[in-house]
C-alpha cells in the first residue's frame, strides 16, 4: 500500500476520505485519499473476474478497510468504458452498471465517473522521474519537469486507451476519447500482409484489435501467416510475451510479433501526437509495454513515431516516455475528485 506522489492539489478536509479507483478489463485498483494532497493510500488490486459486478468489488474493498477509517462519502472511479448516460458497459469485460444505482449502493454523496485514460491523462503533470522512463532516442529529456502545452497518452493494456491533456487558464483539462478504435494502417509490405491476415478474421481491424492484451493473440497469428506459417493452437497473451522476451524460451514468431507490436504502436502514437499537437510529450501507459522493458526501447517504436515525412523534425522534438508508476490512474482520479470538490466549494 505505497502512496502515490503528492502534488499541490488540495481537498476539503471535511470531505475526506475520498474513494478512488482504476477499473480495467482485468484488474480493479481501489484506494483512499485520506489527506489534503494527492497521496493515495490503502491501495488494493482486485481481479475483475472474481466479482459479478463492479459494486461487488467495491463493497469487498470497503469491507476490508480498517474499521478505524471513516467510510468515504465521495468517490471518483476511472473505468475502461465509454461514458454516455446513466448506464455504463465495459468493452473488454461483461460488467455493466447504472451510475445512479451504484452511487446508492455504495452510500455516496458524490460519485464522479471518468474514462480510465481521462484519469491517466490528468495524472501526467504529477508523475515524477521515478515514475517515468524517457525514451533514449528522443530529444534527450523526459516530459516530466513542469510539462507545458498539450500532452498525450497511449496505453496498451487489456485494451488500447488514448487521451490528451491541454493546459488552460484554469488548469489542466483532459481530452477523453476512444482513439484505440481507429483503423490501423500498415507502413510496409509485411504489415500489409499482417493486416490482410487479420482482416480474414475481422471486418474492421482497429489499433486495439492488434495492439493490446486482447489483440496480441490475433497479431501473433497474423504475423505467422504473413511469414508463410500457420498457428494450429492460438497462443495466449502471457505466453507470447514470455516467449518473445525471454532468451531462454524465445520463439521466432513471438519475437517478431512483439517487434511488429512496437513498430505499429510507434505509428499509432505518432498519429495521436500529430492529431492533438502534443508537443509537450507523448506518454506510453498500460500494463504491456513495461513488461517488455529494454526490448521496447531497442525496437522501431521511436523511429516509427518520427516517420511522418515532412513533419519528421516536428516529431523528433517531442519527448516520449514510458510510465512505470504502478498506479498513475489513481492519482488522476484523485486530481479529478479534488477539482470537482473545488468547483462545488467555489462555483
Query: pLDDT tier at 18 (50, 70, 90 boundaries)?
Result: very high
Give backbone dihedrals phi and psi of 140, rounded to 5 degrees, phi first.
Answer: 100, 5
Query: pLDDT tier at 139 (50, 70, 90 boundaries)?
Result: confident
Residue that is written with C-alpha cell 476490508 in the block: 64
Query: What is the per-residue pLDDT for 250?
Result: 85
Give pLDDT tens digits for 54-95.
999 999 999 999 999 999 999 999 998 889 899 999 988 899
pLDDT of 9 strictly over 60: no
pLDDT of 10 strictly over 60: no
The mean per-residue pLDDT over the stretch 311-334 comes to 95
pLDDT of 148 strictly over 90: no
Q: Distance between CA atoms of 267 and 264, rounded to whole angstroms?
A: 5
Query: pLDDT tier at 345 (50, 70, 90 boundaries)?
Result: low
Nearest by Cα to 330 from 28, 88, 10, 26: 28
pLDDT of 7 strictly over 50: no
Query: What is the per-residue pLDDT for 339?
Result: 86
Mutual angle of helices 216-226 and 252-276, in 10-degree steps: 110
Query: pLDDT tier at 331 (50, 70, 90 boundaries)?
Result: very high
Q: Distance between CA atoms of 345 and 338, rounded to whole angstroms?
A: 11
CATH number, domain 129-324 = 3.40.367.20
Q: Which helix (DSSP H) or strand (DSSP E) does residue 203 occupy?
A: none
pLDDT higher for 25 or 278?
Answer: 278
Domain 13-123+327-345 shares a fold with domain 129-324: no
pLDDT of 6 strictly over 80: no
Helix-strand-coil split of the chain, %, nearest 5 = 40, 20, 35
Query: What is the per-residue pLDDT for 171?
Result: 84
The mean per-residue pLDDT over the stretch 93-121 comes to 95
pLDDT of 173 strictly over 60: yes
Residue ranges of domains in the chain: 13-123+327-345, 129-324
Burial of residue 55, with CB atoms counted within 10 A of its CB: 0-12 exposed, 13-18 middle, 19 or more buried: middle
Give pLDDT tens digits for 191-237.
999 999 999 999 999 999 999 999 999 999 999 999 998 877 789 99
pLDDT higher for 138 or 68?
Answer: 68
Q: Among 3.30.420.40, 3.30.70.1520, 3.30.460.40, 2.60.40.10, what is the CATH number of 13-123+327-345?
A: 3.30.420.40
Tell me what the pLDDT averaged over the chain comes to.
90
Query: What is the per-residue pLDDT for 247?
Result: 73
Nearest by Cα to 90 from 98, 99, 80: 80
Q: Give the 3-state secondary structure of residue 301.
A: helix
Q: Distance between CA atoms of 268 and 184, rounded to whole angstroms?
A: 8
Contact predicate 10/36, CB 8 Å: yes
Query: What is the per-residue pLDDT for 223?
Result: 96
Can you say how many angstroms the Cα of residue 217 is from the centroid of all Cα atoms in its chain? Answer: 20
Query: What is the per-residue pLDDT for 91?
Result: 84
Query: What is the per-residue pLDDT for 14?
Result: 56
Q: Distance between CA atoms of 273 and 180, rounded to whole angstroms?
A: 13
Give pLDDT tens digits for 241-275.
999 998 777 899 999 999 999 999 999 999 999 99
Nearest by Cα to 347 from 37, 339, 166: 339
Any residues with CB less than 8 A from the CB of 248 and at least 6 apart, and which?
none
Cell triple for 123: 495524472
Query: pLDDT tier at 311 (50, 70, 90 boundaries)?
Result: very high
Amino acid at each position: 500500500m505505497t502512496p502515490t506522489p503528492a502534488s499541490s492539489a488540495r481537498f476539503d478536509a471535511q470531505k475526506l476520505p475520498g474513494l478512488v479507483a482504476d477499473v480495467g478489463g482485468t484488474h480493479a485498483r481501489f484506494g483512499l485519499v485520506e489527506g489534503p494532497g494527492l497521496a493515495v493510500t490503502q491501495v488494493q488490486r482486485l481481479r475483475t473476474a472474481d466479482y459479478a459486478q463492479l459494486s461487488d468489488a467495491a463493497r469487498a474493498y470497503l469491507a476490508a478497510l480498517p474499521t478505524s477509517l471513516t467510510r468515504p462519502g465521495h468517490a471518483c472511479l476511472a473505468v475502461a468504458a465509454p461514458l454516455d448516460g446513466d448506464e455504463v458497459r465495459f468493452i473488454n469485460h461483461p460488467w455493466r452498471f447504472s451510475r445512479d444505482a451504484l452511487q446508492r449502493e455504495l452510500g455516496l454523496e458524490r460519485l464522479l465517473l471518468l474514462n480510465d485514460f481521462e484519469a491517466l491523462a490528468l495524472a501526467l503533470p504529477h508523475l515524477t522521474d521515478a515514475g517515468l522512463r524517457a525514451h533514449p532516442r528522443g530529444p534527450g529529456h523526459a516530459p516530466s519537469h513542469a510539462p507545458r502545452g498539450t500532452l498525450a497518452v497511449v496505453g496498451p493494456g487489456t485494451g488500447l486507451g488514448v487521451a490528451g491533456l491541454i493546459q488552460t487558464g484554469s488548469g489542466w483539462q483532459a481530452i477523453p476519447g476512444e482513439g484505440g478504435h481507429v483503423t490501423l494502417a500498415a507502413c510496409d509490405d509485411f504489415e500489409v500482409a499482417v493486416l490482410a491476415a487479420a482482416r480474414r478474421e475481422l471486418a474492421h481491424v482497429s489499433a486495439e484489435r492488434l495492439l493490446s492484451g486482447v489483440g496480441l493473440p490475433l497479431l501473433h497469428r497474423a504475423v505467422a501467416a504473413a511469414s508463410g506459417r500457420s498457428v494450429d493452437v492460438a497462443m495466449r497473451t502471457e505466453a507470447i510475451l514470455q516467449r518473445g522476451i525471454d532468451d531462454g524460451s524465445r520463439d521466432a514468431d513471438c519475437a517478431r510479433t512483439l517487434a511488429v507490436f512496437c513498430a505499429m504502436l510507434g505509428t499509432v502514437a505518432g498519429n495521436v501526437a500529430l492529431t492533438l499537437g502534443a508537443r509537450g510529450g507523448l506518454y506510453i501507459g498500460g500494463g504491456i509495454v513495461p513488461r517488455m522493458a529494454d526490448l521496447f526501447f531497442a525496437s522501431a517504436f521511436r523511429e516509427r513515431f518520427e516517420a511522418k515525412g515532412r513533419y519528421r523534425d516536428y516529431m523528433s522534438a517531442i519527448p516520449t516516455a514510458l510510465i512505470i508508476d504502478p498506479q498513475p490512474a489513481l492519482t488522476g482520479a484523485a486530481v479529478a475528485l479534488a477539482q470537482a470538490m473545488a468547483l462545488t466549494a467555489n462555483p
